[in-house]
Structure 1
Amino acid sequence: MSTAVRRSLLAGLRWTSLRLRLVVVFALVALTAAVSASGIAYWLNREAVLTRTQDAALGDFRQEMQTRAASLPPRPSKEDLQTAAVQMASSSPGYSVLLIDERDPGKPIVGNSDLDTFTRSNVPPSLQKQVSKKQPVKAGNKYEYHLFWQRTSIRGTPYLVAGTKIIGGGPTGYMLKSLDQERQDLSSLAWSLGIATALALVGSALLAQAAATTVLRPVQRLGDAARKLGEGKLDTRLVVSGTDELADLSRTFNKTAGSLEKKVADMSAREEASRRFVADMSHELRTPLTAITAVAEVLEEEADSLDPMIAPAVHLVVSETRRLNDLVENLMEVTRFDAGTARLVLDDVDVADQVTACIDARAWLDAVDLDAERGMMVRLDPRRLDVILANLIGNALKHGGSPVRVSVRIEGEELVIEVRDHGPGIPEDVLPHVFDRFYKASASRPRSEGSGLGLSIAMENAHIHNGDITARNSPDGDGAIFVLRLPRDAEALGRDTEDHDAPIPDHQEDDPT
């Protein structure tokens, strides 16, 4: 899976996650509001229904107790109680009546309207106790007995049970009222409220989806524009409409992108001018340097016949002329890399022969131990490999310590060349900068034999092969180790980087510093 596809999928997941969070928040708010409203509505309706039914039943029962039960003879018979109970129940359909009295002490008689439905065992003991309890008569209470009621359940059916006693002597009456119809009505109400809550939840989810789309569409456009800007498309702009916060954010993005584009354009122009200046300067210096180099070589040949006082100056001029010539060549090479005009000239190379030739050409055979088997064939640019090796080995000899060991091996599809010295190693604060241009470890010695470009050029030559160079200190503290990794076949890369319109001529092979 390509990087672009992975980035797109991750962006889509983030976008979906934000949308999901918005929908969930909307749904939770709507669910909380709907459940709260439904709960309050159900509770209010339940209390209203039960209170209305309860008040009506208790009012009828009180009235019947005052008119019928109170009119019974002082010592009623069972038939009297039975008849009164039936009359009381028939006068107000929907509940049963139970009357209890005593003809003789300890011998209660009972009359009820429906023996199968309502008996004394159906009356909760606590209610019987409250009904039979005589209340103290005082200023705030004029009656000895009161009407008490209680909601109970008999065989799974809800009922209202109430009772009272005739003041001044008379029967005790109990009433049983079924609340099953009210329960069914409240169940229907609960179902209706549940359906309404579910519909509200679905509606809120749809509303949240629409709101999320409205909010996230400009956010998604802003994210796409930011990714394009990060990919280098600095002319990316957003179409701004409206006056809300997202519109302000889009305007800020456009201003930032415009400022960034201008700054990058200015920096690119300055960089291009600097690169062209270096290239032109290096190119223009080659002609006088050629003449100076020729004169210096003649002076060097005649140095032994010159005045001993003049000979050191001649040698210094010759040395500095060569150093200047190397610096100019290195600057031109760096300019090619910066301009993207450097190209590979590929050939099949025996790595052992190439490394041996590099060492022999610079007379380093006595100072370098080579560990390389013949027959390791790779396809790369031999001139650039020579430049890399010359810089790495020369750096090890100059700043490290003998012996310098060069090991060559093949790891899979990679050529690995390791250059190790036995010097003091590289200071930890210098290690991250060894491949920087013009970097020198000692700031007190800005003028030395090297130009500070050698390792930088070696790294650029490795990169053009799609390779890399790493530097580290030996684990035992004995010297530094540079490791070059190049692909065994740079053919495809060589075709990609080849440029026949290079404005800067390819430089001649020389001894890099």
Structure 2
Amino acid sequence: MTDTRGGLRGWAVGRRGSLSRLRFTSLRLRLVLVFALVALTAAVSASGIAYWLNREAVLTRAQDAVLRDFRQEMQNRVGALPEHPTQDALQRAAGQMAAGGQHFSVLLVGQDADGKTVYGSSGGINGFQLEDVPKSLRAAVNKRQKVTDSNEDPYHLYWQRVTDHDTPYLVAGTRVIGGGPTGYMAKSLEPEAKDLNSLAWSLGIATGLALIGAALLAQAAATTVLKPVHRLGVAARRLGEGRLDTRLRVSGTDELADLSRTFNNAAEALEQRVAEMAARDEASRRFVADMSHELRTPLTAITAVTEVLEEELESEAGGIDPMVEPAVRLVVSETRRLNDLVENLMEVTRFDAGTARLVLDDVDLADQITACIDARAWLDAVELDTERGVHALLDPRRLDVILANLIGNALKHGGSPVRVSVREAEDEVVIRVRDHGPGIPEDVLPHVFDRFYKASASRPRSEGSGLGLSIALENAHIHGGEITAENSPDGGAVFTLRLPRDASRLTEEAAQGEGGRSGDGDGGSGKEGS
């Protein structure tokens, strides 16, 4: 007999699904995930290959042993039977074959002397039946092959693996060469299947352990890698908070060490640059302050002289030559402008140096605004919309500077009537100054509080110094307040001043360094080109 293996084996599993994109913001989580995926892929691949190789080895070993014994029994037992055996003879031969070491079930099919088909089964009537043998296997077993030089036998041994009630079986069959019964065998592969299931569980457990080990390894690696990154992030935050002396400890020669060195070099360069800029800024402030102080002495003398000249101009005696009078008036006007500029510069340097302080007092806003307007003879040009009794704890001198700048700016560039209104909020007071002029161009609005900003280059020598609104904003900030500028839908510009009702909590914060009281200043800066 020749052993020829036939049959189809295989499986197909199809799946359709979609994975939602997940965005992982944690580098540690991504590292652990990548390690876990790599470990899972490697473990599953190794386990799958090991399982497949062991499965084939176990099944092939068991199959070869069973088929070898079945073929030997067919030669010894069935080959000794007559060509037309009786049913009893077949039954006895089947029982003898099944009693061998492999313990498989046997079915013998033959024809007796009368031409009747007789059966002999190792399990009796309810044992292994012909219906248990696949039709394809029966057809292959009973098909006579052509005898050639390469094929000496007309009948071959065929086998097939089948499953019955979740139990795997090996079914084989062949015919006795030269005439005689046909034999079929069925061998349960359940012990081998249990061994393979145990192997699969073992490989699954090994895969899970490998996955856990990979996760732990990834955690350790992530900690090693991310610790310098975390230190770098902390150092960067400290650097952003202004602690320019922040440095990283450098150890090793890897890429993270190079990154730490680069950060240290950048921080050192930044610290030097900021120190240089601070020194230049300090020198600039000192220069402006010194210059302003130095100018005050000659300005005092010049102012005294211009006051005398102005009195001569106003005197009835007419002591000034009419030809010289325009020049004298120009000198008087420019001296006043220069005096205002010096006072404003000194005020600005106090704010920049942080030496400006609040001198708080209980202020009735209606009285304060009225006094500001009356002192500058603006009563006929300003409408006041407020009630008496609105009080706030503020610095009255600085509030006067703010009001003088805002109202004077509105009168100069918006024209009368200028409306000033006061409203109370929960913890603050709101003062609005509105004019009825053309409003502020949209491109100028973001710059109205900039120092020396002038919207029109055609009139660089306006009456204002370009510092009034900036000083007003600084005085609002030192109170913890704010000033905003916008255009009214009905026309004209609106400046809104918001101040806290009680600025006492800011007194200590404002008193930094050596303080000095600035002069009153006037409201002569204006919008400068609105």
Number of residue pairs matched by the alignment: 497
CA deviations over 1:312-369 (Å, ceiling 9, x no partner) = 1111111111111110010000000000000100011111111111111111111111
Residue 204 (structure 2) pairs with residue 204 (structure 1) = no
Deviation at 1:500, TM superposition (A): 6.9
Query: What is residue 27 of structure 1 aligned with on the other side?
Result: 36
For 1:413, the aligned partner's letter is: D
Query: What is residue 3 of structure 2 aligned with on the other side?
Result: none
CA deviations over 1:173-195 (Å, ceiling 9, x no partner) = 11111101001101111111111
Q: 2:251 aligns to what SS in structure 1? A: coil
Structure 1: segments with no counterpart, 5+ residues: 1-13
Query: Which residue of 381, 385, 389 maps to 2:399?
Result: 385
Deviation at 1:106, TM superposition (A): 6.5
**Per the alignment, do residues 104 and 321 of structure 1 end up closer, same or farther by CA in structure 2, a change over 3 Å counting?**
farther
Query: What is residue 384 of structure 2 aligned with on the other side?
Result: 370
For 1:317, the aligned partner's letter is: V
CA deviations over 1:438-460 (Å, ceiling 9, x no partner) = 10111222111111101111110
Query: What is residue 457 of structure 1 aligned with on the other side?
Result: 471
**Per the alignment, do residues 463 and 139 of structure 1 end up closer, same or farther by CA in structure 2, a change over 3 Å counting?**
farther
Residue 500 (structure 2) pairs with residue 492 (structure 1) = no
Query: What is residue 116 of structure 2 aligned with on the other side?
Result: 107
Q: How does 1:81-92 map to 2 (within 5 A)?
A: 81-92=90-101
Residue pair 1:326, 1:512 contacting (<8 A) in 2 also: no
Name the CA distance, whole Å, in 2 between partners of 1:105 and 1:287.
151
Query: Which residue of 104, 107, 119 maps to 1:98?
Result: 107
Residue 187 (structure 2) pairs with residue 173 (structure 1) = no
Q: 2:350 aligns to what SS in structure 1? A: helix
Q: How does 1:81-230 map to 2 (within 5 A)?
A: 81-103=90-112, 107-115=116-124, 116-138=126-148, 140-230=150-240
Q: How does 1:296-311 map to 2 (within 5 A)?
A: 296-304=306-314, 305=318, 306-311=320-325
Name the CA distance, whole Å, in 2 between partners of 1:401 and 1:40.
92
Query: What is residue 13 of structure 2 aligned with on the other side?
Result: none
Residue pair 2:381, 2:416 contacting (<8 A) in 1 also: yes
Deviation at 1:311, TM superposition (A): 1.2
Q: CA RMSD in A?
A: 1.7
Q: 2:112 aligns to what SS in structure 1? A: strand
Deviation at 1:138, TM superposition (A): 4.5
Q: Identity of counterpart residues, as a percentage? A: 73
For 1:507, the aligned partner's letter is: S
Query: What is residue 312 of structure 1 aligned with on the other side?
Result: 326
Q: 1:485 aligns to what SS in structure 2? A: strand
CA deviations over 1:4-44 (Å, ceiling 9, x no partner) = xxxxxxxxxx9992222211221121112111111111111
Q: 1:147 aligns to what SS in structure 2? A: strand
Name the CA distance, whole Å, in 2 between partners of 1:327 and 1:412.
38
Query: What is residue 43 of structure 1 aligned with on the other side?
Result: 52
Structure 2: segments with no counterpart, 5+ residues: 1-22, 525-530
For 1:401, the aligned partner's letter is: G
Query: What is residue 5 of structure 1 aligned with on the other side?
Result: none
Name the CA distance, whole Å, in 2 between partners of 1:402 and 1:106.
135
- Between 256-265 and 133-142, the greater mean CA deviation after superposition: 133-142
Q: How does 1:194-273 map to 2 (within 5 A)?
A: 194-273=204-283
Name the CA distance, whole Å, in 2 between partners of 1:80 and 1:364.
140
For 2:28, the aligned partner's letter is: R
Query: What is residue 411 of structure 1 aligned with on the other side?
Result: 425
Name the CA distance, whole Å, in 2 between partners of 1:421 and 1:385.
20
Query: What is residue 361 of structure 1 aligned with on the other side?
Result: 375
- Between 142-151 and 193-202, the greater mean CA deviation after superposition: 142-151
Q: 1:91 aligns to what SS in structure 2? A: coil
Query: What is residue 416 of structure 2 aligned with on the other side?
Result: 402
Residue 67 (structure 2) pairs with residue 58 (structure 1) = yes
Name the CA distance, whole Å, in 2 between partners of 1:303 and 1:94.
142
Residue pair 1:474, 1:480 contacting (<8 A) in 2 also: yes
**Per the alignment, do residues 303 and 189 of structure 1 end up closer, same or farther by CA in structure 2, a change over 3 Å counting?**
same
Name the CA distance, whole Å, in 2 between partners of 1:433 and 1:81.
115
CA deviations over 1:157-213 (Å, ceiling 9, x no partner) = 211111112233111111111101001101111111111111111111111111011
Give the TM-score, by structure 2 length: 0.91
Name the CA distance, whole Å, in 2 between partners of 1:147 and 1:510.
119
Residue pair 2:24, 2:30 contacting (<8 A) in 1 also: no
Query: What is residue 7 of structure 2 aligned with on the other side?
Result: none
Query: What is residue 8 of structure 1 aligned with on the other side?
Result: none
Give the TM-score, by structure 1 length: 0.94
Residue pair 2:398, 2:520 contacting (<8 A) in 1 also: no
Q: 1:472 aligns to what SS in structure 2? A: strand
